Structures are given as structure tokens and as C-alpha cells.
Amino acid sequence: MATPPDLDPTATLRFILNGRSGSQDGDGTRAAIESTLQAAGRAGELNYCEPGELPQVAARAARQALAERSAIVAVGGDGTINAVSQAAHASGCAMGVIPRGTFNYFARTHGLPLDVAEATAQLLAARPVPVQVAAINEQVFLVNASVGLYPQLLEDREAWKSRFGRNRLVALGAAFATLMRTPNRLKLSIELDGIKRELRTLTLFVGNNRLQLEQVGVAEQKTGAAKPDSGRVTAVVLKPIGTLGMLRLMLSGALGSLGEAEGIEHFEFEHMVVKPPSVMRLRRMKVAFDGEVARMAPPLRFRVMPEPLYLLKRDTTAKDAA
């Protein structure tokens, strides 16, 4: 494993803000960050950008931060955090997070405050800690990646949010509407630990976030001191079922018992190759990763990356060992 980046505690922090993320109040967020930095006597550069500009802005800021022994800080929801983490992981620089999304699974998993001022103050005293990163065809993901029904669910959710606003009830309503339609069934070939198998599924979901997996019941509950990184990720396969079966699965997920429901298969792995039927292999497949939707050329390769992401967070090692 590579050595964590060495940080200069006086270097300028480079914040990357997506003004369209989650329930973020742009002016209030800026004011909270700037006032916290001023009170601590720390310099910071705030870079606002549109969603399409995030990868380029993040990559440039990561190069600058690495040269200055500083860090980049993602301010936004899971999609913003993903774009910044891609740049930070590729460059090897440290990364901080100020969560401003709807569910904030990544931040909550790592004990990061949801309040802007508190999150800013905490990262000023934090150190780079390695956290697990997974990838689908070299696109990193911190929370989840998927094909099939789930990417469609995300597209529908964004359409609902643009009409009705960004909150959890809207997200749940959009999910219900998506699941009530007749979804397409996928025929996939997967290769896992040298063994190939064919499967039919509505969606193949790969989770890299223990909190999310625990909430729906496909991972064992862990204590607060337990580390979320295990060197493996969890695949969840939703077998083809009807409308009533969908309703039962929604209820199982809400009750945290999805792993016990009929029609669900889940397993852990380090590396998995997924291929569509041969007639589709020249087409790009719709995939989702950390709330973003894109198209990728198959085969799809899911894996745990050998090098971690260095996240700015409180060092709890000594406390946990005591």
C-alpha cells in the first residue's frame, strides 16, 4: 500500500462545489466554509462549477493540491463526491468531504458531520486515512454501482426531483413509480473466482458502502468502532419477479430484511466480470455509479481497487485500541 500523502497544515485547501447538489444552499454553504476557515486562520479556494465541469475542475485542483501538499474537498452529494474522489484517487492526493446530498451514505459511514461548519472545522484537524475504493471499468465508486433496473430508477428519480424538489419522500415516490412499471429483464454472463454462470435478473447491484447494505439487510450490523473496509464488495441480484413481488421487496428493504427475501441473491467478491448476451456485446450498457448514470462498453469489470483513497477524517485508531 502506498504511503499516505504528507500534508502541509498551512497550505490552501481547494474546495469543489456543485451548486446543484442535494438540498445545498449555495450562499449559506459558502458563508459557513469561509467563516470557519477565517476563524481558524486557514486559507481556502472555493471552486464553483456545473456538474459537467466537475471532472476537469477536480482533476486540475487535485494536481495543484498534490504539488502544494494540500487536499481537495468535495462539497455536495454522492455524485459530486464521486467526481472528486476519481481525481483524488488518480493523483494520490488527500480528499475531504462536506456532505450536502440527500442520503450522504459515504459521509455517514465514515462519521463525517453533516453540518457544513462542523464538517469544515473537523477536516482542518483531520489526517489522511485510507478507505476502500471499488471500480467499474476503472470508474471508481464509493457507494454503489449497478446495471439494469437501478440505473433506470436513478434517471426517474432525477426527473422527479427536477419537478418536485430534492428530498427523501420524492426519491421514494420516484422509486415506487419505477418499480410499478414492467422493467426489462437482463440476461448476463458473470465470471467470479474463475467460475462462469448465466443469470437472468432485473438488476445487478454492487455495494461498496456497509451502511447502505446494512440498512436494507444484506450485510451484518456492525458496531460504530468496526471498520467499513473489508477488501470485498457485495453483489445483490434481483431475480425476475412480478408487481406483487416488487411490493414485497420494497417492504423488505424498508424493514432492513432484504437479504432474507425471496427473489434476492447476494454474495461478496473482489473481482467480477459481467457480459451481456453476444448479440449485445458491441453495444454500450447503461450503468449507474454513486448516483450518476452513464453508458459503458462491455465487458463490465467490477473490482476492489488495490490502492485506497486517502480521506481526511478524525484518527480514531488510538481510541479504538484503548
User: Starting at the edge strand that comes first in sequence, how are the strands of the sheet with 292-296 ordered?
Assistant: 264-269, 233-238, 203-207, 144-148, 285-289, 292-296
Fold of 13-132+308-321: Rossmann fold (3.40.50)
**Secondary structure in 3-state letters for 179-243:** HHCCCCCEEEEEEECCEEEEEEECEEEEECCHHHHHHHCCCCCCCCCCCCCCCCEEEEEECCCCH
Taking a C-beta distance cutoff of 8 angstroms, is the pair 102, 168 a contact?
yes
How far, in Å, CA of 319 to CA of 64, rounded? 33
So what's the pLDDT on residue 145?
96
Taking a C-beta distance cutoff of 8 angstroms, is the pair 221, 156 a contact?
no
Taking a C-beta distance cutoff of 8 angstroms, is the pair 249, 176 a contact?
no
| Nearest in space to 90 (alpha carbons), one of 273, 305, 297 | 305
So what's the pLDDT on residue 75?
96
Beta strand 285-289 with 13-18 is: unpaired
So what's the pLDDT on residue 322?
39
* All structural domains of the chain with their residue ranges: 13-132+308-321, 139-304
* Phi, psi angles (nearest 5°) of residue 126: -90, 170
Which set of grid coordinates corresponds to residue 20? 446543484
Checking 291-294 for CB contacts under 8 A at 24+ apart, the result is 291/77, 291/78, 291/79, 291/82, 291/101, 291/143, 291/154, 292/79, 292/82, 292/154, 293/151, 293/154, 293/155, 294/139
How far, in Å, CA of 203 to CA of 241, rounded? 11
Q: Which CATH architecture has domain 139-304?
A: Sandwich (2.60)
Rg (C-alpha) for the chain, rounded Å, is 20
Give this prediction's pTM.
0.84
| Nearest in space to 203 (alpha carbons), one of 134, 147, 160, 256 | 147
So what's the pLDDT on residue 26?
74
Q: What is the pLDDT along the chain (322 residues), one digit of tens a residue?
A: 568 899 999 999 999 998 665 444 678 999 999 999 999 999 999 999 988 899 999 999 999 999 999 999 999 988 899 999 999 999 999 999 999 987 899 999 999 999 999 999 999 999 999 999 999 999 999 999 999 877 767 766 666 666 666 666 766 666 666 665 655 678 899 999 889 999 888 889 999 998 888 877 776 555 443 455 779 999 998 876 555 555 555 544 444 444 455 678 889 999 999 998 765 666 889 899 998 999 999 999 999 999 999 999 986 654 444 3
Which set of grid coordinates corresponds to residue 242? 412480478
| Nearest in space to 210 (alpha carbons), one of 145, 142, 289, 130 | 142
DSSP 117-171: HHHHHHHHT-EEEEE--EEETTEEESSEEEEEHHHHHHHHHHHHHHHH-SSHHHH
Taking a C-beta distance cutoff of 8 angstroms, is the pair 94, 128 a contact?
yes
